[in-house]
Amino acid sequence: MRGLSGRRGSGTVRIRAAGTAGVAVVAAVGLLATGCSAGGTGARDEGAARTDQGTANTAPSPQASSSAPAFQRVDVVELVKSDPKVSDQVKDDLKPCAADAYPVDTSYGNLTNTGAPDVVVNVLTCGDMVGIGTYVYRMRDNKKYENVFALEEPAVYSTIDRGDLVVTKQVYAKGDPVAYPSREDVITYRWVGSKFTEHDVVHNEYSKAVDGGDIEGSAPTAQSEN
């Protein structure tokens, strides 16, 4: 999560050395306890002390383990441009916005259970960063990536959520500004067999009132002069 930061607390352990007088007192108390013990054996009869040395010595040392596949960055720009399933329009729009900064968002995660991270690529516009295409690439035979999901339409964006592919599509009615769509559809896909299948759909309807006003309200008319 971006912006998440933590601070590890610090503590101080103080060790106070014992003086010569303190050592002498402890020794005297020890001799007194020995002389007064029952039976004159020199030690109190409390039975054998418990020892866990065998367990301590044979306990296995913890080993770090992780089920997450190894992460390796992919040149997603080249991946998209060389993909025959990507339209020529998206490829033409996939240009640097500034210097070598391409309008591409990338997510790596487990979607298809291949043992290698799947790659989710969102291609955006430079001006308002609106998604125009979203794709999922799956490692095939540990050699190359193949396109297993593609959706190209205005205002579409995909993310990985606990093993599911979540696709968000903003729906615009006639006259809607880019910042205020009329509706949003959130579709959850799961990998079943050899393809993604639709698992859940959520439709969100947005209010047309913005800051107390109506974004679709008609322009004010000038008052007539009498």
Give the DSSP letter string of the chain. Answer: -TT----------------HHHHHHHHHHHHHHHHTSGGGSSS----PPP--HHHHHHSPPP-----SPPP----HHHHHHT-TTS-HHHHHH---SBTTB-SEEEEEE-SS-SSS-EEEEEEE-TTT--EEEEEEEEEETTTEEEEEEEE-SSSEEEEEETTEEEEEEEE--TT--TT--SEEEEEEEEEETTEEEEEEEEEEEPPSEETTEETTPPPPPPPPP-
Q: List the single range of 46-55, 132-141, 149-158, 203-212 with lowest mean pLDDT.
A: 46-55
The residue ranges of every structural domain in the chain are 76-213
If pLDDT is split at 50, 70 and 90, which confidence band does 187 have? very high
Q: Is residue 168 very low, low, confident or very high in pLDDT (cuts 50, 70, 90)? A: very high
Q: Could you report the per-residue pLDDT of 29-72, keeping only the tens digit for each?
A: 343 344 444 444 444 444 444 444 444 455 555 454 445 556 78
The model's pLDDT over 67-122, given as tens digits with 9 standing for 90+, comes to 555 678 999 999 999 999 999 999 999 999 998 899 999 999 999 999 899 999 99
Q: Is the pTM of this model over 0.85?
A: no
Q: Specify the pLDDT at position 72.
A: 83
Over residues 153-173, the mean pLDDT reads 95
